[in-house]
């Protein structure tokens, strides 16, 4: 034996794991945020509407509906690996816009600044994960690898 491993295996924490299994785990983690958020917006519509109104969004009903639809559909695309790259890109762009529009810490002070900075950095990490899915694809454990 030469000590080589199949191309789908990667070293991780001193062991070897299947690359496609790791991509699936990443897809599950990333999509959970969006699928939950989208369903929550649909189930707790009035709370979401109040949030949209407080942030002075134009046509809050439309914004909320589009947000919920994007979260659920694109979240499921990433989760199931069905047009996962496209779903990841849409979520990436949506998250970047929403972060700038709603969670931008510029001009805020004190606790408000720290909270929005933390949320913005969390969103940046999610954007990074979505970018990886967009670049690498869903792996072979997907409906459409």
pLDDT in tens, 60-105: 999 999 999 999 999 999 999 999 999 999 999 999 999 999 999 9
Residues in the chain: 145
Output the pTM of the full model. 0.89
Task: Spell out a b/e string for 58-90, using b for 16 or more CB atoms within 10 Å of the CB, else e.
Answer: eebeebbbebbebbbebbbbbbbbebbbebbbb
Question: CA 42 to CA 62: how far, in whole Å?
Answer: 12
Q: How much of the chain, in percent, has pLDDT values that exceed 70?
A: 93
Helix, strand, coil shares, percent, the chain, to 5 = 70, 5, 25
């Amino acid at each position: 034996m030469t000590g080589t491993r199949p191309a789908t295996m990667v070293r991780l924490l001193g062991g070897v794991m299947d690359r496609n299994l790791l991509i699936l785990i990443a897809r599950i983690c990333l999509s959970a945020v969006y699928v939950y958020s989208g369903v929550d917006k649909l189930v707790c519509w009035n709370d979401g509407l109040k949030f949209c109104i407080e942030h002075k969004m134009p046509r809050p009903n439309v914004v909320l509906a589009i947000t919920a639809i994007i979260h659920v559909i694109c979240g499921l695309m990433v989760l199931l690996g069905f047009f996962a790259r496209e779903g990841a890109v849409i979520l990436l762009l949506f998250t970047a816009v929403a972060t700038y529009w709603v969670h931008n810490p510029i001009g805020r002070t004190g606790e408000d600044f720290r909270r929005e900075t933390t949320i913005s950095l969390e969103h940046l990490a999610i954007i990074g994960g979505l970018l990886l899915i967009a670049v690498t694809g869903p792996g072979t454990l997907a409906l459409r690898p």
